[in-house]
């Protein structure tokens, strides 16, 4: 098509009425937007104030309109404002720390054990399954209110289990006379034999600054639309003989179709909203939603068919709960131990470990 033909078509379109004029104006705005993007990436010149500023305004208005029409709602608070920022990590470390870690990670100083525990055991519990940033106010527990209770009460946030007496009696390691507590114990509850196994905080080298422990226990809960197998984590405070549930994840591995997965998640959300009308929505996107209630965070998530993670499996649905205030306690102990390990490594490196 030559220039004259283009001119004739534009003229005809302009004379056709308001609709034709609107099409032309829209096309001009798009062209100016493209021109403006090139001008923004280059050095400013004398014409930029006349052209690119107006283009920027139009592009900005278009972006705002597109954003407002999006049905996806994200967390109102930014992730970097959360009290659950799992730092320091390796990228944030000073060159001195990295050098001492490489030098003493296999020595009796055991530099880096607290950081490894933070990343492998604690950080992953929150980052991989939950999206909501958590504030100090959100993480507070009101003892006068109820906590999340799922699957007919077989899974409860904040539930406590008393450890048997024999699980609290340490054995003496003959190699260095250190005390080693049993790593597991069994109890029977509601006809189920439950085995608790300690994850971290049980033997040397200790990764906590105090006697904090994290235990795990997997068991069957009351089935709901294919969800039945629960993976749980329990917190043992220093000196306590009780374990407190602070993390649980239950997943239906096969939901048959994306539509079925959506139905399960929707029904679960409706049930929880009816049971806990005071809970607050903290996050929502196309496939997941989260709610905070009395210091506990609830996550409902589905995996769509055809997505990267379900290429070789059917869609799944999962529900999870976590108690951020306990996660903070665990992280604080790890941070303190991390500081102690770093100081010990510095002393060892300077030859001043004697009487440490």
pLDDT at 307: 52
Task: Give yes or no for a cis peptide into 88 (omega within 30° of 0).
Answer: yes
Among 5-14, 73-82, 86-95, 204-213, the minimum mean pLDDT is found in 5-14
Whole-prediction pTM: 0.73
Name which residue leads in pLDDT, 278 or 174.
278
Q: Is pLDDT above 80 for 12?
A: no
Q: How confident is the model at residue 91 (pLDDT cuts 50, 70, 90)?
A: confident
Q: Is pLDDT above 70 for 222?
A: yes
pLDDT at 155: 92
pLDDT, tens digit (0-9, with 9 covering 90-100), for 289-334: 999 999 999 999 988 755 554 445 578 889 999 999 999 999 999 9
User: DSSP secondary structure string, 174-209?
Assistant: TTT--EE--SEEEEEETTEEEEEEEEESSSSSP-SS
Packing angle of the helix pair 95-104, 324-349 (nearest 10 deg): 80
* Mean pLDDT, the chain, integer: 78
Structure tokens at 76: 């109102």
Strand partners, 219: 230
Among 108-117, 176-185, 260-269, the minimum mean pLDDT is found in 176-185
Give the domain ranges of the chain: 1-37, 136-335
Report the pLDDT averaged over residues 149-155: 91
For residue 276, what are the CA distances in angstroms to 130, 293, 294, 296? Answer: 19, 8, 10, 12
**Is residue 353 a contact partner of residue 344, using CB atoms and an 8 Å limit?**
yes
Q: Is pLDDT above 90 for 89?
A: no
Name which residue leads in pLDDT, 24 or 293.
293
pLDDT, tens digit (0-9, with 9 covering 90-100), for 164-212: 998 888 777 777 777 777 889 999 988 889 999 999 988 777 899 998 9
Report the pLDDT averaged over residues 124-140: 91
pLDDT at 23: 57
Report the pLDDT averaged over residues 10-27: 54
pLDDT at 206: 82
Question: In whole angstroms, what is the distance from residue 194 CA to residue 187 CA?
Answer: 5
The backbone region for 253, taken as left when phi is positive above 0, alpha when psi lies in -120 to 50, beta otherwise, is alpha
Q: Is pLDDT above 90 for 349?
A: no
Strand partners, 296: 293
pLDDT, tens digit (0-9, with 9 covering 90-100), for 226-242: 888 999 999 999 989 99
Q: Is pLDDT above 80 for 13?
A: no
């Amino acid at each position: 098509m030559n220039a004259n033909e283009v001119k004739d078509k534009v003229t005809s379109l302009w004379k056709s009425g308001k609709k034709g004029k609107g099409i032309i104006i829209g096309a001009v705005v798009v062209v100016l937007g493209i021109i403006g993007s090139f001008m923004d990436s280059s050095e400013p010149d004398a014409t930029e104030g006349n052209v690119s500023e107006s283009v920027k305004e139009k592009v900005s208005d278009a972006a705002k309109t597109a954003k407002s029409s999006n049905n996806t709602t994200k967390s109102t608070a930014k992730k970097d404002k959360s009290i659950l920022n799992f730092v320091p990590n390796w990228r944030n470390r000073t060159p001195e720390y990295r050098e001492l870690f490489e030098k003493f990670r296999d020595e009796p100083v055991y530099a880096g054990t607290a950081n490894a525990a933070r990343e492998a055991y604690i950080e992953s519990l929150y980052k991989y399954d939950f999206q909501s940033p958590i504030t100090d106010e959100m993480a507070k527990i009101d003892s006068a209110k109820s906590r999340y209770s799922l699957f007919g009460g077989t899974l409860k946030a904040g539930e406590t289990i008393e450890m048997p007496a024999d699980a609290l009696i340490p054995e003496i390691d003959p190699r260095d006379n250190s005390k080693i507590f049993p790593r597991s114990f069994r109890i029977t509850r509601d006809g189920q034999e439950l085995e608790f196994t300690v994850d971290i905080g049980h033997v040397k080298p200790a990764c906590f600054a105090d006697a904090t422990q994290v235990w795990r226990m997997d068991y069957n809960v009351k089935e709901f639309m294919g969800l039945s197998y629960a993976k749980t984590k329990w917190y043992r405070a220093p000196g306590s003989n009780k374990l407190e549930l602070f993390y649980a994840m239950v997943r239906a591995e096969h939901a048959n179709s994306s539509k079925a997965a959506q139905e399960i998640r929707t029904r679960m959300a409706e049930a929880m909203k009816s049971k806990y009308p005071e809970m607050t929505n903290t996050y929502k996107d196309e496939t997941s939603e989260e709610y905070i209630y009395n210091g506990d965070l609830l996550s409902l998530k589905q995996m769509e068919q055809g997505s990267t993670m379900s290429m070789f499996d059917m869609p799944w649905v999962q529900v999870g709960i976590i108690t951020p205030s306990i996660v903070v306690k665990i992280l604080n102990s790890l941070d303190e131990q991390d500081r102690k390990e770093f100081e010990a490594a510095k002393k060892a490196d300077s030859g001043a470990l004697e009487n440490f």
